[in-house]
C-alpha cells in the first residue's frame, strides 16, 4: 500500500472519523481507524458498532491496499508532523517485507507505525447502487434543533428513552425530543419534505449526537437516509451511520404544561448574569436556585449552610399571583446557552409543578420543561 494526500485534509478527516472509534473495554480493533486506498481515493472508517463514521479523501494512490491503525496514535502523529506550507503532503507507504508496518513522511518528518489487518474490522455496508429513502436538510436548521434538545439527553443505562434523541416525523414536520426524566426539550424543523417511510419515531442514541453535530460543520446541507433500519447522515466529505434504539418514546405532548397561570418574562442576559452570580453558593446546595417572583421584580437566590447566601434582584415582567419556586441552576444555564433569544418566558403553575422555559420570539417553537426542586431541600 502506497499513497499521498494533503496533510490538512487528512487531519480534518481524522478529527471526525477518530471520534467514532470505541473506547477501552471493547474489541481492540474497534479502537483503530480503517484505511482503504483505492485508485484516486483514501477511505477512512471509524466505528464502535453503534455508530460508523466515514470520510473519502482525494489521494494519489500508487499501490492500493487496506489496513487498520490505532486511532489515537494516528491522530497524535498526524498532528505533530512538521509542516512547511499549507499545502503540505503526507506520504504513506507499507514497508517492503513488513506488512504490519507503515511509514508516514512529510518533507522533514517520518514515523513508522505498527498496523493491523482488516479481517476483524466490522464489514462496511455496501451502498453503491442501493436504493433507499432519503431527503435533504440544511445543516444550520438541524444543528440548531440538535443543540436545543441535546441539553436534556440522559446518560442513564436503565432506560433507552433517556439515552437518545427522538426524531419524530409527523405530517411534514420533524420534531426532535430528548429527556433525562428531570427535564425535557423539544425543538422542531417546521417544513421538511421526506419520503413516507420516515413517518414515525426514530430513537437515535446519545452517542451519535456529538458526532452528528461535528459533521454538520461540513458544508451547507446534509442528506438523511434510512438504510437497513439505520439512519445515515451524509455531507460533502463525511458520512455517519447510526443504529437505532428499540422502544416507545413517551408522549411528550402529555408532559408539556398546559394550563399555566403565571408567566414570567426575563431578559436572557439578566438571568444568565444572575444565575452566574448565585452559582458559587448554589453548587453547595445541589445547584438549587430559588425564584421569588413579584409584579416587576424577581429575587434570585441560593443558600447553603456551609457556604452562606447569595441573592440578585432583576427587573422582570410578570402576569399572575406571586410565586416562590426553585429550579436546578445548571439546567437553566444549559437552556440559556442554546435559547438564541434576547428575552425568554417561564410559564409556571405552582411550586410543585414543572416550569416551561421558551424563547419570547414568535418564530421559535423551542420548549424546555424543567422539574422544580423542593423548597425544603
Angstrom CA distances, 239 to 17, 53, 178, stand at 9, 6, 23
Q: DSSP code of 129?
A: T
Give the pLDDT of residue 158.
65
Rounded to two decimals, the pTM is 0.92
Helix boundaries (H) for the chain: 7-17, 71-80, 139-150, 208-215, 252-255, 268-282, 329-338
Domain edges within the chain: 2-114, 134-251, 256-370
pLDDT, averaged in runs of 10, over the chain (377 residues): 94 95 83 96 96 96 96 93 75 88 88 94 86 95 96 84 94 94 93 94 96 95 95 96 94 88 97 97 95 96 94 97 97 97 96 96 89 76
Residue 222: name the closest of 134, 141, 139, 132 by CA.
139
Residue in the block written with cell 408532559: 255
Give the pLDDT of residue 362.
74
Give the pLDDT of residue 23.
79
Give the pLDDT of residue 106.
86
Give the pLDDT of residue 377.
46
CATH class of the structural domain 134-251: alpha beta
CB-CB contact of 36 with 66 (8 Å): yes
CATH superfamily for domain 2-114: DNA Polymerase III, subunit A, domain 2 (3.10.150.10)
The CATH number of the domain covering residues in 256-370: 3.10.150.10
Task: State how far the Cα of 97 lies from the Cα of 368, in Å rounded to an integer.
Answer: 60
- Say yes or no: do domains 2-114 and 256-370 share a fold: yes
Spatial CB neighbours of 176, under 8 Å, sequence gap ≥ 6: 145, 146, 148, 149, 165, 166, 167, 168, 186, 187, 188, 189
Amino acid at each position: 500500500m502506497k499513497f499521498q494526500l494533503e496533510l490538512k485534509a487528512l487531519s480534518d478527516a481524522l478529527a471526525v472519523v477518530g471520534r467514532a472509534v470505541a473506547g477501552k473495554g471493547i474489541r481492540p480493533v474497534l479502537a483503530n481507524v480503517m484505511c482503504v486506498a483505492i485508485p484516486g481515493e483514501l477511505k477512512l472508517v471509524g466505528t464502535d458498532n453503534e455508530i460508523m463514521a466515514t470520510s473519502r479523501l482525494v489521494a494519489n494512490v500508487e499501490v492500493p491496499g487496506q489496513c487498520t491503525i490505532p486511532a489515537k496514535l494516528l491522530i497524535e502523529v498526524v498532528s505533530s508532523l512538521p509542516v512547511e506550507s499549507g499545502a503540505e503532503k503526507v506520504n504513506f507507504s507499507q514497508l517492503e517485507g513488513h506488512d504490519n508496518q507503515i511509514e508516514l513522511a512529510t518533507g522533514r518528518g517520518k514515523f513508522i507505525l505498527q498496523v493491523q489487518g482488516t479481517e476483524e474490522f466490522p464489514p462496511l455496508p455496501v451502498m453503491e447502487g442501493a436504493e433507499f429513502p432519503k431527503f435533504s436538510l440544511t445543516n444550520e436548521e438541524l444543528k440548531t434543533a440538535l443543540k436545543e434538545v441535546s441539553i436534556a439527553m440522559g446518560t442513564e443505562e436503565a432506560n433507552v428513552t433517556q439515552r437518545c434523541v427522538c426524531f419524530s416525523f409527523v405530517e411534514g414536520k420533524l420534531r426532535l425530543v430528548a429527556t433525562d426524566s428531570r427535564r425535557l426539550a423539544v425543538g422542531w424543523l417546521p417544513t421538511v419534505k421526506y419520503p413516507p417511510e420516515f413517518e414515525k419515531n426514530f430513537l437515535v442514541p446519545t452517542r451519535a449526537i456529538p458526532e452528528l453535530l461535528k459533521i454538520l460543520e461540513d458544508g451547507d446541507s446534509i442528506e438523511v437516509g434510512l438504510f437497513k433500519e439505520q439512519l445515515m447522515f451524509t455531507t460533502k466529505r463525511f458520512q455517519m451511520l447510526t443504529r437505532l434504539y428499540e422502544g416507545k418514546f413517551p408522549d411528550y405532548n402529555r408532559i408539556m404544561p398546559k394550563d399555566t397561570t403565571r408567566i414570567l418574562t426575563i431578559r436572557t442576559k439578566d438571568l444568565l448574569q444572575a444565575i452566574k452570580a448565585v452559582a458559587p453558593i448554589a453548587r453547595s446546595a445541589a445547584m438549587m436556585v430559588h425564584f421569588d417572583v413579584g409584579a416587576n421584580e424577581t429575587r434570585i437566590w441560593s443558600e447553603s449552610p456551609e457556604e452562606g447566601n447569595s441573592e440578585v434582584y432583576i427587573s422582570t415582567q410578570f402576569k399572575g399571583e406571586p410565586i416562590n419556586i426553585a429550579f436546578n441552576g445548571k439546567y437553566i444555564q444549559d437552556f440559556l446557552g442554546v435559547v438564541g433569544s434576547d428575552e425568554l418566558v417561564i410559564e409556571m403553575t405552582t411550586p410543585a409543578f414543572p416550569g416551561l422555559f421558551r424563547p419570547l420570539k414568535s418564530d421559535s417553537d423551542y420548549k424546555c420543561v424543567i422539574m422544580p426542586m423542593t423548597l425544603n431541600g
